[in-house]
Amino acid sequence: MFKGYLKVADRCPVCREDLSQHRADDGPAYLTILIVGHLMAPTILWFFTTFRPDPLVTFTVFTVGCVALSLYLLPRLKGMIVGIQWAKRMHGFGKDA
């Protein structure tokens, strides 16, 4: 479905479905921030109160964790948004397109 990290291919390589009409826009980024924030905020609080590490250690560990989780989730959530648009026949995926 992708021809790059986040670039959606113009056509599906298997079924030749036209994917150029998708409108994912900022939805995947918003969902990524929402999920990462809801997972990491309680984890940071628990980690800091349980282990009492140096603040620089906490900052370093959770910065790497947030970036890694964001980079993992972003293309998957973009694929999900494009898939939902295709399934619901939204934004040019309809029969009349």
Which alpha helices (DSSP H) does 1-97 contain, by range? Answer: 27-51, 55-87
Which two tokens mark 41?
A: 């905020």
Q: What is the pLDDT of residues 7-54, one digit of tens each?
A: 999 998 898 888 888 888 899 999 999 999 999 999 999 999 999 999
What is the b/e burial string over 33-46, where b = at least 16 CB atoms within 10 angstroms of the residue's CB?
A: eeebeeebeeebee
Domains of the chain: which residue ranges? 27-87
Say what the pTM is.
0.87
Which two tokens mark 66?
A: 């947030």
State the pLDDT at residue 59.
Answer: 94
Q: What is the pLDDT of residues 63-78, one digit of tens each?
A: 999 999 999 999 999 9
